Structure 1
């Protein structure tokens, strides 16, 4: 079903992309960012659309070891990918950090985006007290910190962190084995982490993104898990209330990895929005 390929997007940079055939393309931007796209293949393989799932620069099977990592470069890569695949306009889904990159892409090239899906991410910046009083989150974070091996760096640190904090990303105990299996298949990297640790990585969030998206009027789906411990669901509801072009779908019994906790409901909400 998926065709794996490489696309040259600039001198010295190739993006690895999984391409599922179908009509009306959907570009999906993974999170991390030092992850790859593979944890998102399911349930997207059941979506009745063409799905493009690239690894960002420095991630997975795309070009690594580059001298520079910025969010604008990631956006430029993705727009060049659409050009290389002869896709003049697409729907765009960004997951977690990818949701912030997707907003940046939409504001950079609005003529290339038909509809925008911000999944398990946020248009509104996180307030300092976003999770105040949530004792279950505090407990899971403490358990994750206790399980985190010391003295790891780069890709191995990112893998270990993902595993240690797995219960902070999926809410349902029944979802944990599937999630851990997906983590075992990810080709983690450390390129973006090194740029961040060196102080060379600018903020991913566009400062005035919310106001600019409202003015732009692009249809937006804010697709979220009620028990998301990374980006609170309340921010998705607030953003939808303030933007006439936005709709929030909040899935109960779902955490940050809402597509794993509630795959059927997640895919259904996505399909209805893109129809």
Structure 2
């Protein structure tokens, strides 16, 4: 008998899209009417998603993780604007012939998720924004220097990840080590990211964060039910921005997870998955 398909065993597939890009993706879970599509963080590939989180989500719905243009095993050159990343994500969804999706965007992926919802409002049914912030939001411009230095190093390792993603408490750091163990379990690894992707994505992040109060008004156009979440000690995108988005998106709910940093969804994977599944099932 074949074993159960999981985030660590599902095979990577590819699809050729109308823009000439061959996108790499992984698709598994409990098929239903609306799949959940994941939009990844800065420098992350499909491998960086917490397999425990994906397995818990996939128990109730179909989950699709993919690498956007130029990222890891997807062809092309990574663009340097969030808007182009969103347009590239839309082309990928069109290649899979998906007419309606739920989106979960984490960090940079949350920037992209906001843009997809604004550019294709009828494509997105529900939106989850995790550890992310609004375009033009205060105190978002380029991240603070210690974080920017850590995330931009040529070959970031466990030390940088634990500093960036987890709160500097014994409990949170221990959860970070558990995540690293889960992260290394997959045998069929994705291709490594490139410095071109790093630099292009950082340019996009910096541009998105240029203070501009007027751009905050764009959030009023996101009509989809939206779940906005963060850790209480996120050093990359402070939780006050989570509350700001929750106040500006008309149909939003907010949750802040205790004793957690930017990687709260890895640290609190069981609780976050349950919250997401409940939100999507309403």
TM class by shorter-chain length?
A: 0.7 to 0.9
Over aligned residues, Cα RMSD in angstroms? 3.2
Contact residue 89 and residue 112 of structure 1 kept, 8 A: yes
Aligned match for 1:36, one of 45, 62, 68: 45
Once the two structures are superposed, what CA deviation does each residue of 1:214-245 show, in whole Å capped at 9, x if it has no partner?
A: 23422111011111111111221232234331
Cα distance in 1 between the residues matched to 2:227 and 2:240: 14
In the alignment, structure 1 residue 46 sits paired with structure 2 residue 56: yes
Cα distance in 2 between the residues matched to 1:200 and 1:87: 26
In the alignment, structure 1 residue 18 sits paired with structure 2 residue 26: yes
In the alignment, structure 1 residue 203 sits paired with structure 2 residue 207: yes
TM-score, length of structure 2 as denominator length: 0.77
| TM-aligned CA distance change 1:81 to 1:119, over 3 Å | same
1:273 is paired with a residue whose SS is helix
Uncovered stretches (5+) of structure 2, i.e. residues with no partner: none
Once the two structures are superposed, what CA deviation does each residue of 1:101-160 show, in whole Å capped at 9, x if it has no partner?
A: 111111111110001111110126443499xxxxxx99xx59x96xx7xxxxx9xx4432
| TM-aligned CA distance change 1:50 to 1:222, over 3 Å | same
Cα distance in 1 between the residues matched to 2:270 and 2:253: 19
| TM-aligned CA distance change 1:180 to 1:242, over 3 Å | same
Aligned match for 1:231, one of 237, 257, 261: 237
Cα distance in 1 between the residues matched to 2:204 and 2:165: 27
In the alignment, structure 1 residue 170 sits paired with structure 2 residue 182: no
C-alpha deviation, 1:196, in angstroms: 6.4
1:223 is paired with a residue whose SS is strand
Cα distance in 2 between the residues matched to 1:46 and 1:200: 31
Aligned match for 2:258, one of 249, 252, 257: 252
1:92 is paired with a residue whose SS is strand
Cα distance in 1 between the residues matched to 2:47 and 2:263: 13
Cα distance in 2 between the residues matched to 1:11 and 1:244: 34
Cα distance in 2 between the residues matched to 1:201 and 1:251: 24
Contact residue 136 and residue 208 of structure 2 kept, 8 A: no
Contact residue 99 and residue 122 of structure 1 kept, 8 A: yes
C-alpha deviation, 1:82, in angstroms: 1.5
Contact residue 13 and residue 57 of structure 1 kept, 8 A: yes
- What are the residue-to-residue correspondences of 1:121-136 with 2, within 5 Å? 121-123=132-134, 125-128=136-139
Aligned residues: 254
C-alpha deviation, 1:183, in angstroms: 6.4
2:230 is paired with a residue whose SS is strand
Once the two structures are superposed, what CA deviation does each residue of 1:141-198 show, in whole Å capped at 9, x if it has no partner?
A: 59x96xx7xxxxx9xx44326742522311202112234346666733222334468x
Contact residue 20 and residue 45 of structure 1 kept, 8 A: no
TM-score, length of structure 1 as denominator length: 0.79
Match of 1:191 in 2: 196
